[in-house]
């Protein structure tokens, strides 16, 4: 419980800025576990509430875990009747969570100011509380600590449920268990199943809300006692009385509603807060009650409202002046206590003692009725001590120990159910396994059969099935370094190898293929080969005719071609220059290109002109591109020619013919 603070005390935390964002400006409430500050969110420029765990508890992992659990449980909910949680963290040695700031007062403050509420006002307060709990129950969360201190009423009349510090998510069978072998909560509002077995579900919140409804109508909780154990005994062994016994104006239908929601058997209560809310709405219609504004207690009152006093407590105070009267309006502290044994004789709440006529004084000066009352009181104390010692002894002995059920090889939900039935808290961690099917428990820690304290955590390793990874097909075409980084970034210890190739479609340096193909399931440590493009696969052969052979060869090799040389004759290209490039056009990378180097013009074959007339011979030789030299001795017939017929000579070579008589 958080109580109002003395603003005259200097708080060294005031003025601190947590995580460079939340400036603590005003201490507004303080409790045993935490202190709440009004703060400013410097990033979003808004007011927030920051709950800071007290320093000595911040060193206890169990309390820090509970504190974080509150943040996570509340953060799962988004409802106008639940105090929103927006952040959680630790800074400068402080563990904190950031909540919505609600300016107003608690329901406890309202009851202290008003004493009790009318039926319409009680419904107006309880309906939004149940609406917020309905959202929690539908999200699988049980609050486990519903009480007036955890209900906030803003100055505008908006009602919000706060403090999910004891909340637990429902798993498996829908039950939750107590924490660390002890029961934590406010005993005045705990259900019998929480007190006896340390178990709770949505119906436990329904019970607490029913007790709150009783308190709204009467001004005090249904049970009071000198010790928390005495109050707990009454919850376990007595039905909550009808509110009309304290407030006669309460209709009998409301008495029945309180009775149904506070049955000792959870199965006889409404299933969850939503069912409780539906019953209130039906009852409102049956009673013809209109909507009543939520009382804020801010309006000034001309008269003082007397607070009702629990009759049983007042009676005991009257009987024994040494007994301190426990005010029903004093907030009940959060109490740690061992679970009660199923049975036991503990003095129940006695009806009020009515005044009687004076009795005669016996000898010795002590009236008989006082002596009998002292004897009864002494017997009650002895029985209470015996039950307490027995319960503590049983709990410290065998009562708080249990065996870990055999859960290895079971399905996850079945294993969770077995553990919760044994009073243990399952903590599930999912891991990959090549041998165990997905959803099956691989192992438990502590192991099956181990003897541990009830309420302890049991770590379950649950298989997620074989671990597989896939490479995204969108990586093809991206730069090789980018692809390699993406594959290695999968966190699968994949090995990346490279090969090269050529592609007309993929730029040089980019990945043109991945092996195994993208989308293939890979195991951890597998090798993935990426093929990196070295450029285009087909290249155009340039026109190098007439160029220097060495320059032409260098140009072709730069394009990735292999080069051969040959000699040839050309009438068009000078000797020593490239006269032909074959093949030409567009060729595949690495093709062999032949450079033909000119060794001179094309040669001609000397025609045979022997026996021809001089004129015919000259004409034939000149037609072949040859020069003609004539030596003539009488006659007109060619007797001999030099060079001889059919010799191959350069164009323009001089051929000498001897002309004489035929």
Q: How many C-beta atoms lie closer than 10 Å to residue 575's C-beta? A: 12
| Rounded Cα gap, residues 243 and 400, in angstroms | 37
| CA 309 – CA 230 distance, rounded (Å) | 18
Contact 160, 81 (CB under 8 A): yes
* Share of the chain residues as helix, strand and coil, in percent rounded to the nearest 5: 30, 25, 45
Cis bond upstream, residue 583 (ω within 30)? yes
Check whether the bond before 372 is cis (ω within 30° of 0). Answer: no
75's tokens: 């953060």
Please provide residue 170's backbone torsions phi and psi, each rounded to the nearest 5 degrees.
Answer: -80, 135
CA distance 658 to 17: 124
* Dihedral sign from CA coordinates of 461, 465, 469, 473: negative
Task: Specify whether the CB–CB gap between 266 and 275 falls below 8 A.
Answer: no
Which residues on adjacent β-strands are paired with residue 22?
A: 18, 41
Nearest to 214 by CA among 325, 114, 305, 119: 119
* Residues 430/464, Cβ–Cβ less than 8 Å: yes
C-alpha 129/C-alpha 217 separation (Å) is 16
Q: Do 43 and 19 meet the contact criterion of CB atoms below 8 Å apart? A: no
Relative orientation angle of helices 119-138 and 273-287, to the nearest 10 degrees: 150
DSSP 239: P
Q: Annotated catalytic, 282?
A: no
Per the DSSP assignment, residues forming a β-bridge with 500 are 532
55: left (phi over 0), alpha (psi -120 to 50) or beta: alpha
Beta bridge partners of 658: 631, 640
CA pair distance 419, 406, nearest whole angstrom = 9
Tokens of 574: 């000078």
Closest C-alpha among 154, 140, 130 to residue 49: 154
Q: Which long-range contacts (CB under 8 A, 24 or more apart) does 623-626 make?
A: 625/651, 625/652, 626/651, 626/652, 626/653, 626/654, 626/655
* 286: three-class secondary structure by DSSP: helix
Asked if residues 606 and 646 have their Cβ atoms less than 8 Å apart, the reply is yes
DSSP 94-133: EEEEEE----EEEHHHHHHHHS---HHHHHHHHHHHHHHH
Tell me how far CA of residue 543 lies from CA of 540, 556, 585, 602, in angstroms. Answer: 10, 10, 9, 22
Which residue's entry shows tokens 């006082």? Answer: 370
DSSP 149: G
CB 359 within 8 A of CB 367: yes
- Please pick, among 6, 109, 145, 550, the residue that the annotation labels catalytic: 145
Comparing C-alpha atoms, which of 480, 456, 473 is closest to residue 520?
Answer: 473
Cβ-contact 20, 39 below 8 angstroms: no
Axis crossing angle, helix 202-218 with helix 119-138, rounded to the nearest 10:
170
As annotated, the active-site residues are 145
């Amino acid at each position: 419980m958080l109580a109002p603070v003395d603003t005259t005390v200097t708080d060294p935390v005031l003025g601190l800025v947590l995580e460079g964002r939340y400036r603590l400006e005003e201490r507004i409430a303080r409790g045993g576990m935490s202190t709440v500050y009004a703060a400013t969110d410097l990033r979003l420029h808004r007011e927030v509430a920051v709950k800071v765990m007290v320093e000595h508890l911040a060193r206890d992992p169990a309390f820090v875990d509970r504190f974080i659990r509150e943040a996570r449980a509340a953060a799962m909910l988004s409802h106008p009747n639940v105090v929103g949680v927006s952040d959680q963290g630790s800074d400068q040695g402080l563990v904190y969570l950031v909540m919505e700031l609600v300016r107003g007062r608690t329901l406890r403050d309202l009851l202290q100011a008003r004493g009790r509420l009318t039926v319409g006002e009680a419904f107006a307060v309880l309906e939004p509380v149940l609406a917020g709990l309905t959202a929690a129950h539908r999200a699988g969360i049980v609050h486990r600590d519903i009480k007036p201190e955890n209900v906030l009423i803003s100055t505008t009349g908006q009602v919000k449920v706060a403090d999910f510090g004891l909340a637990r998510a429902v798993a498996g069978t829908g039950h939750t268990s107590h924490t660390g072998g002890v029961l934590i909560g406010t005993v005045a509002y705990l259900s019998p199943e929480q007190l006896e077995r340390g178990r709770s579900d949505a119906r436990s919140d329904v019970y607490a809300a029913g007790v709150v409804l009783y308190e709204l109508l009467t001004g005090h909780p249904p049970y009071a006692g000198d010790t928390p154990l005495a109050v707990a005994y009454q919850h376990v062994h007595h039905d909550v009385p009808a509110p009309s016994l304290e407030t006669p104006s309460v209709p009998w239908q409301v008495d029945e509603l309180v009775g149904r929601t506070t049955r000792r058997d959870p199965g006889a209560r409404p299933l969850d807060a939503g069912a409780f809310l539906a019953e209130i709405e039906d009852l409102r219609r049956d009673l013809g009650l209109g909507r009543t504004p939520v009382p804020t207690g801010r309006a000034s009152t001309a008269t003082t409202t007397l607070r009702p006093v629990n009759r049983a407590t007042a009676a005991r105070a009257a009987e024994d002046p040494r007994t301190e009267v426990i005010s029903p309006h004093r907030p009940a502290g959060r109490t740690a206590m061992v679970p009660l044994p199923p049975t036991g004789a503990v003095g129940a709440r006695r009806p009020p003692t009515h005044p009687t006529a004076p009795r005669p004084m016996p000898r010795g000066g002590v009236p008989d009725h006082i002596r009998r009352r002292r004897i009864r009181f002494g017997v009650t104390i002895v029985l209470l001590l015996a039950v307490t010692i027995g319960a503590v002894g049983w709990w410290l002995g065998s009562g708080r120990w249990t065996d870990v059920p055999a859960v290895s090889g079971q399905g996850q939900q079945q294993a969770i159910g077995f553990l919760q039935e044994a009073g243990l808290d399952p903590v599930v961690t999912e891991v990959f396994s090549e041998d165990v099917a997905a959803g099956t428990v691989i192992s438990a820690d502590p192991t099956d059969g181990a003897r541990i304290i009830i309420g302890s955590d049991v770590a379950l390793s649950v298989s997620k099935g074989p671990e597989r990874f896939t490479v995204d097909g969108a990586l093809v075409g991206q730069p090789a370094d980018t692809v390699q980084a993406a594959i290695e970034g999968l966190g699968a210890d994949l090995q990346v190898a490279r090969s090269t190739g050529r592609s007309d479609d993929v730029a040089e340096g980019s990945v043109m293929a991945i092996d195994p193909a993208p989308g293939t399931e890979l195991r951890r440590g597998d090798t993935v080969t990426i093929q990196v493009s070295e450029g285009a696969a087909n290249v155009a052969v340039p026109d190098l005719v007439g160029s220097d052979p060495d320059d032409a060869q260098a140009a072709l090799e730069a394009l990735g071609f292999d080069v051969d040389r040959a000699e040839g004759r050309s009438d068009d290209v000078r000797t020593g220059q490239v006269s032909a490039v074959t093949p030409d056009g567009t060729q595949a990378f690495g093709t062999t290109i032949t450079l033909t180097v000119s060794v001179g013009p094309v040669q001609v074959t000397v025609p045979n002109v022997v026996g021809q007339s001089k004129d015919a011979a000259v004409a034939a030789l000149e037609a072949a591109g040859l020069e003609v030299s004539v030596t003539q001795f009488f006659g007109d017939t060619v007797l001999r020619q030099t060079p001889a017929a059919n010799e191959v000579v350069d164009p323009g070579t001089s051929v000498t013919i001897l002309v004489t008589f035929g």
